[in-house]
Every structure is written in C-alpha cells, then in structure tokens.
A and B are shown apart, each in its own frame.
Chain A
Amino acid sequence: MRKLLLLVLFVAVTMVTYAGGYRVSVQGQRAMAMGHTGVAVVNSAELVFFNPAGLVYLESKLNVSVGASGIFTDVIFQNEELGISAETDNSVGTPISLYASYQVTEWMSVGLGVYTPYGSEVTWPTDWAGSQLVNNIDLAAIYVQPVVSFKLSDHFSIGGGPIFVTGSVNFNRNATRTTTDIDGNRSNITVDDSGVTNWGWSIGAMVNLTEDLHLGFSYRSEIILESEDGEATFANFPNSPAAPANGTTSFRAELPLPAELTVGLSYEYKKWLFAFDFNRQYWDVYESLDITFGNGETSLNPRNYKNSSVYRFGLQYQATEKIALRAGYYHDETPVQPGFFAPETPRNDSDGFSGGLSFAVTPKLAIDASFFYLRFEEIDASYDFGSGSTGAQETFGGTYKSSAFAPGLGLTYKM
C-alpha cells in the first residue's frame, strides 16, 4: 500500500496540471497536499478558508495553521509562422495562509484567517512580440476574514463571516504594436495601485452523515476591486498633440475577484481519509478589463470569461502516529474562452498533482509540507480582440505552454 502511495506521488510530479484565471488555489498546506480539497475535511484551522462551519467540530480548543508556498511558474510562447518565441521570467509567487480558531463554547467557535486566493505575476521580456497586451503584471489580493461557526447538532453546523480585501496591481504594457517616440522607444503605459479595499463574505455548512462521512458546502462572495486612486504612467509617447502626454495621470479600473462555490465530501476508513471537492468559480463576472485614464485615454480589453469548474481528489494516510502522508489530483478548467487567450493570464485546462506530509514534532505541533505540480498541455491560442492604433481589431497568438511547481511549508498547532 505504501508503495502505491509513492507511485501516486511519483506520477503526480511527472504528469500535468493547471489553474484557472488569476485564482491561486494554495490556501493551506494540508489541503494543498490533498489536491486542495477540504470543504468536508475536519482537520485543522485551514477550515477558516475551506469551510468555517467545520471549525466547531475540531477536537482542540485552539487551532492554528500557518503556511506559505513558493510558486515557480513558467510560460513559454512561440509562433512558428512568424518565428517568434518568448519565455516569462516570473519571480516566485508566495501565497500565504494564517488561520486560527478558538472554541468558545461547545456549540460555537470563532476564527480568523488571512490568505491570498487571487494573484498573478507574469513577466514577459520587455517589448516582446505580445507587448501590446502585456509586458508584465503583478496582481495580489489579501483576504482578512473573521468567522464564526455554530454547531446546530452533532450532524449539522454552519459558519461564515465577512471578508476584508486589500489588493494591489502593477501592470505594464506597450500602447500599440508600433507606437514609438522619435528614437524608436516603444510607447508604454504602467498602471500602479495598492491598498484597494472592499468587503465580501463567505458562508459554509457541514453535514456529518456518520462519524466518518462528512458533506461540506461553502460559498465565497464575489468582490470587485475598484481602483480609483492609482497612478498611471505614460512613457515614450511621441511629442505630439495626437498622442497622450508623457508623465503620470490617474486611472480607474475594476477587477473582479469571482465568487466560488464548493461542495464536497470526505470519508475516513481506518488510517485512510478520502476527500472530494467540486469548485464552481463564477468567472463570467470578468467581462472586460476597462481602464479609464485621467488624461482622457481609455483601454478596453474584452475578457469574456466563462464560469469554470475544478474537480479535486485528495487522499491521506496516517502512516505512523507522527506522520501523515497526503496526495491529490485535480482537474482545473480554464475560464478563458477561445479567442480571448491573453498572455497576461495564459491559462488553459490543467491537471494538478499534489503531495505532502505532516510530521508531528510534538502532540501539539506539526510541520506540514506540500507541493503541487502543474504542467499545462501546450495550446494553440490567440487573443483576437486587441485594438490597434486605428481601432481595428487585431490578433495575437501562437502556441503557449505553462507550468507551475510549488513547494510549501507550514505549521499546525493545537491545544
């Protein structure tokens, strides 16, 4: 049996995986190791994110889970007809998660979570072939969420709480495929904003059909980040009344952080725990990325995302008293529709494979380790809704292939 698990782990790192839109599903080391399942897993304070309803069923009074992963992503692009190729040079993404819960009474627990479910960091070579769409983008959103969890019976609980979001964005791209100043330097625009805040909420429910079989449900609301106080920098535009002036101006833009519905189950059998989560992500809110600049310029970028689903499977094996081994698989559908494949979020369908373990240093403290590996199928795709200097529709496309690998470490404390 142990050999089988090793085989699963091995297969995990040699096969293929993906992630949709700018959602970064790394919200807990234990869950991540199990394919990021957890809506029906009563295991640790990671439930603050996965399903606050479950917190009240945790055995310990105080539960703390902290963790961080380093995401190494890489995207390559080529177009054989035009002989162009490029590779991203992304810095390491570092999603974090901090969770704590405290059982106030037999029937109520409270909790607090800080996590980063949305983000994107893509850096293409400056002035590369698709630079009119993106040179680089760095998008981050930090969620801070207090939750409360009520046990209505031994079989049913609910939970939820408000979410406070603070987000930041830095996005640079060239104005068009060709506009330059007199010396041939490409005209480009950078938008930069941070401290963009808004509120949302989440709610969850858990049903314990038996001691070993749990059903979970959670829903996290959509949150629209409205950037109004940021700064846009226009650079290398020609010195002409027909071109925007160089320098800084204000801008307004909206970026949706879509709602997510999760239903799932978990089943314990002796030393084994099996979990299944189904995520539905409501990406259809991301219709267009429209930026209105203080100098009167606008940038309209149709996105037309569709709702997408993720199917997650996780497995845990309590190998010894101190060691729990985990593995997972998930299939992540892209929200990007054909013709809307923009290199700022070059995502197609993917399969994710994860693994990890927990080592209990003491009965109270455990070290959690996880990794996941995503290697996208190569895809011929294009973004067909670019707007040229004359307003005509333009296409940019070719073959893309992405991959991501993310090792992570965490600590779980309970007492």
Chain B
Amino acid sequence: MIKKNIKYLAVLALGLIACEPEFDNPIEDAGTYSSGEADFSNYVALGNSLTAGFADGALYITGQENSFPNILSTRFAFAGGGEFTQPLMADNVGGFADNTNDFPPRLVLAFDAQGDAAPRPFAGTPTTSVANNLAGSFNNMGIPGARVYHLVSEAAGYGDPARLATDQANPYYVRFASSPNAAVIDDAVAQNPTFFSLWIGNNDILGYATSGGIGVDHNETGNLVPSTYSGNDITNNLVFAGAYTELVTKLTADNTEGVLLNLPDVTSLPFFTTVPYNPIPLDEMTAQGTNMAYAAYNGGLQQAVSLGALTAEEAAKRTINFFAGQNAVVILDENLTDLGAINAAFSMLPQIRQATPNDLLVLTSSGVIGTLADPSDPTSVLGVGVPLDDQFVLTPEEQTSVESARLSYNATIEALATANNLAFYDVAADLSQAANGGIAFDGGVITSQFVTGGGFSLDGVHPTPRGHALVTNGILDAIEATYGASLPRVNVADYGTITLSNEVN
C-alpha cells in the first residue's frame, strides 16, 4: 500500500517538473544569433545630436533611451554585446538649467482652443547643469552640435567649461569629457572599443542650411582653418575629409570593426519641406493694393533693363505680382544683381523677388510670415509688404552649395568605409525614401511629413524614436552584410513619435 503511494507521488512530482513549458529553439540559446566576424562586447557610438538621441530641439532622457546606438546595443546584447552607458540628462524636460536661452526645454505638440496643434516649448524647468561633470566614460559619445572637426585630437578643449562663454566648447561634451583638455576622439579610443558607429558631418552643412544660408561656404572661400568657422558656415570638403580620416584611422587602429553612416539630403528633412513657397492667401483687392505698392519696384526693374544693368530674364524673375489665391512670399536674395551698387539711381531697388517652388523656406519662417515687421504699420506684413530675410530661405544657389558639399562628404565616408572594410549604411537613401513615398511597417508608413509622418521630431531635423528604430534596422542590415552577423531587428511600430502635452509656455 505504502509502496504504491510512493509511486503515485513520483508521478505527481514528474508532472510538476514537466509543467514548465519550453521552446524547441529558445532564442536565449547560443547559436540563435551571431556577431559574425564582429565583436560587440564594447560598442562606442561617436557622432553628433543624431547619435546622442537629441529630439524636439533638446536632449532629454527618453530621447537618449531611444537613440539608435542605445537601441542597437539591445540588439548587440543578443550576440555578445556588453553594457551600453549613456550620459543621461537629469530629466525629460531637456535644456540646461544654466543657460535656458540657448538650451531651452524640448518641444511638445500642444493644442489650442480651436483644436489646432503646434509645437510649443514644454513648461518644465530644466534641471541638468553643465557644471556637473558626470565623471566617467560613456559608450554613447554623441555630442549635439558637434561637427567633424570638433571631434579630432586638435580640437582638445571642446569639453572645457572655461571655454563655454566664448562658444569654443560644447556643453554636452563638457558634461562627460575626461578632462577639460580632452579631445572627443581620444576619449573614445581610450575606452578600447571593439565596435564603433560613426555618424558625423551633418552639422557641417546643416548649420548653413538651417540658417537659410546666411553663413559662408568655405568651399568657395577655400578657408581650411576650421577654428575660424562660424556655426553657420559650410565646412570645406578637404577639412571634412582630413578630420573624418583621422577619426576612422584612430578608431580602427586595433582593427576595430565599425559602421559608418552617410549624410542625408536636406530635402529629406521636414525643416526644409514643411513651409510652402506660397503661403500667402490674398483676395483680389488686397492683391491689387499690394501690387500698387510694388509698382515702383517693378517699373524700376524695367528701367534697369533698358539701361543694360539687368537682363530681361532677371527682371522677369524679380517682378512682384500678387493675385487672388495663394501667393509666393517676397524674399531677399543676395544672389540677385545689386543694382544700387551699379548705379546709385537704382538704390531704391532692393535685391528681392518672389519665392519659387525651388526655394526652401525653413521651418522657423512659419513663425514670422504674415506677422508685422512694424506693429504700427499694417502694410509691413512679412513676406508681403516686407521681404523675408535671407535666414528664412534656402535659395537654389545656397542649396547647391549644401548639396555639393554633402556629395563630397559622402564620397569621403563611403570610400573610407570601403578602404577599411567597415560596414556602411546609406542612411541618406532611406531618409530620401521616407521623404518620397514613405517606408511601410506593420500598422503604418513612416514619412518625413512634419508632425504626422512619424519619422521626425518636432524640431523638423532630428528623428523620433521611430526614426531611430528605422536607422537601427538599416545599420543591422549593413552589419550583417559586412560581418556576417545575424541579429534580431526591432519593430519600428513599437517606437513612438512625437509627444503631446498642453503643459507649455
């Protein structure tokens, strides 16, 4: 009797043990994924705001957590990847407590009483202090605002708090520089990375482009001394190639594997494609009234033609004409003939014209178009009675400067990837696809449409978490192709887009 009971107990115990379900091929098992020829044990990400996870015009914790390097590190973890540390900000507000003018809180999408939505600054108070050096090295060395030449050894001191006042240092790097005299590339190499990503160079053209081309194109000036450049300038192609080569050379000194990313076209960014060239709705009467105000200018152009100071073609381009309907804004364009300089008699004819579909109005122009330059003068409507400043428009000539620099940079990047057997991700192609038709995923499509497209945050330049997820998958493709790795993708649908909040200033 007792013997029999023992048998039953044994059966029961067996059942309890066998109860735990188990997959035939658990993904936790070794062999499911592989790093191929790469070694992900110590991944260091080098770059700018895109690498840092900057979004909505600020750096904040959830943006950093959704940065492509951080997402990528979760994939690497399936194949030998180690811990991935980031110099996290103190809050989800963004901005610096020490300097809220230059580093304000993030943008959120707020609704007004009419139900219209617009990006507005979040009402939180920044608590991150530049003065607080985090002491230690971080795998994510993305530094918002950095250009390629800011990362090289010669740029030592880019993290020196004493140089912040003179704009020679970057507060984001100040937070985690190993010493005031450190250089970014040296801090990166000191971590002995086994794998790296490098996405740098965007700011070398974007500073010029986002400021509507008010800066200088150093491919025209031939200036090869980056310490003399302003934040609105285009970096000379040779300077770019030299600095980028130094970065790759130092990062690959120990045959370290890595991935290089190229630079997207500005027309892939909603910052340049959201505001139309013709945002001015006018009725017949207002159009006629405005045309009368420009009659003298239009007449002057014809005079200049008859005197040979202007081609008929340029005069036609510059002739201002409003009509009932959607009208192009009037813009300043320094590439137009400066008639006043030719003949003092023409000094009343400014370098203005109406925009065309080939002009790119920057996102920030939406805040000024239609407002009064002089609140007491109802005819001083910006974009109509008063021309839009150069800083709000990227003209075709300026676009050419940006694009030719970009193509040169990208040629450098791809060539260095090939020469060093590094993975190369043509992120420019994917972002172009997002801007032209979109990229489908389960449950939707990512486009570059501002606010609603899902790919770009509310600053119109930086990706959303979903955009970062897309970039992550692209990088994984490149790594698998180059190193024979096998890694799980992320579902971009699991990554968010913009943040709603009516807690705004």
Contacts and interface: CB of A to CB of B under 8 A. Distances in A.
B313 interface: no
Contacts of B18: 13-14, 373, 375
A72 interface: yes
Contacts of B491: 82
Of B21, B488, B494, B499, chain A has the most CB atoms within 10 Å of the CB of B21
A378 interface: yes
Contact of A178 (B75, B488, B490, B495): B495
Given A13-B11, A403-B21, A183 B92 contact: yes
Interface string A348-387: 0000000101000000000000010101101000000010
Given A178-B495, A182-B92, A239-B503, A394 B21 contact: no
Given A182-B92, A184-B61, A80 B488 contact: yes
Interface stretch (A200-208, A240-248, A253-261, A269-277): A240-248
B335 interface: no
Nearest to A355: B11
Interface string A392-407: 1111000101111101
Contacts of A179: 496
Given A76-B21, A239-B501, 17 more contacts: A72-B16, A78-B23, A78-B26, A78-B27, A80-B27, A82-B490, A182-B92, A184-B65, A239-B503, A241-B111, A242-B500, A371-B15, A373-B19, A375-B19, A376-B21, A403-B19, A404-B19
A180 B11 contact: no
B16 A399 contact: no
Contacts of A180: 62, 496, 499
A2 to B, nearest CB: 9
- Nearest first, the 3 A-B pairs at minimum CB distance are A83-B488, A13-B15, A178-B496
Given A14-B14, A81-B489, A75 B500 contact: no
A399 B23 CA distance: 8
A83 B27 contact: yes
B308 interface: no
7 contacts: A81-B489, A85-B27, A129-B494, A182-B501, A184-B61, A184-B92, A242-B111
Contacts of A339: none
A388 interface: yes
A175 to B, nearest CB: 12
B444 interface: yes
B444 A388 contact: yes
Interface in A10-25: 10, 12-14
Contacts of A403: 19-21
B220 interface: no
A390 interface: yes
A241 B502 contact: yes
Contacts of A45: none
B48 to A, nearest CB: 23
A180 B494 CA distance: 12
Contact of B15 (A83, A129, A405): A405
A390 B78 CA distance: 32
Interface string B32-66: 11000000000000000000000000000110010
B16 A401 contact: no
A104 interface: no
Given A129-B494, A241-B115, A393-B443, A378 B75 contact: no
A6 interface: yes
B167 interface: no
B102 interface: no
A407 B12 contact: yes
B377 interface: no
A290 interface: no
Contacts of A82: 488-491
B497 interface: yes
Interface in B4-34: 7-8, 11-12, 14-16, 18-28, 32-33
Interface string A227-255: 00000000000111111000000000000
Contacts of B115: 241
Contact of B32 (A80, A182, A357): A80
Contacts of A222: none
A378 B19 contact: no
A397 to B, nearest CB: 10
A49 to B, nearest CB: 25
B372 interface: no
Nearest to B113: A241
A178 B27 contact: no
A357 B496 contact: no
Contacts of B92: 182-184
Interface in B279-308: none
Contact of A392 (B20, B117, B443, B494): B443
B106 to A, nearest CB: 9
Contact of A395 (B8, B22, B25, B442): B442
Contacts of A371: 12, 15
A12 to B, nearest CB: 8
Interface in B120-154: 122, 124
Contacts of B502: 239-241
B23 A238 contact: no
A75 B15 CA distance: 16
Nearest to B32: A80
Contact of B499 (A6, A12, A238): A238
Interface in B66-116: 74-75, 78, 92, 108-111, 115
A184 B63 CA distance: 9
A238 B109 CA distance: 11
B500 A238 contact: yes
Interface string A291-334: 00000000000000000000000000000000000000000000
Of B7, B75, B444, chain A has the most CB atoms within 10 Å of the CB of B444
B493 interface: yes
A371 B11 CA distance: 10
Interface string A177-192: 1111011100000000
A205 B7 CA distance: 39
Nearest to A372: B15
Given A177-B494, A392-B443, A182 B499 contact: yes
B503 A182 contact: yes
Contacts of B61: 183-184
A378 B22 CA distance: 9
A284 interface: no
Nearest to B75: A83
Contacts of B12: 13, 371, 407
A389 B502 CA distance: 19
B65 to A, nearest CB: 7
A76 B21 CA distance: 7
Contacts of B444: 388, 390, 392
A89 interface: no
B51 to A, nearest CB: 20
Given A10-B14, A182-B499, A243-B500, A378 B443 contact: no
Given A81-B488, A183-B62, A405 B500 contact: no
A386 B124 CA distance: 34
Given A75-B21, A82-B489, A182 B16 contact: no
Given A10-B14, A74-B19, A82-B489, A388 B443 contact: yes
Given A239-B503, A378-B24, A10 B11 contact: yes
A108 to B, nearest CB: 39
Nearest to A131: B494
Contacts of A34: none
Given A182-B92, A241-B111, A85 B21 contact: no
Contacts of A74: 19-21
A377 to B, nearest CB: 10
Nearest to B74: A83
A402 B487 CA distance: 26
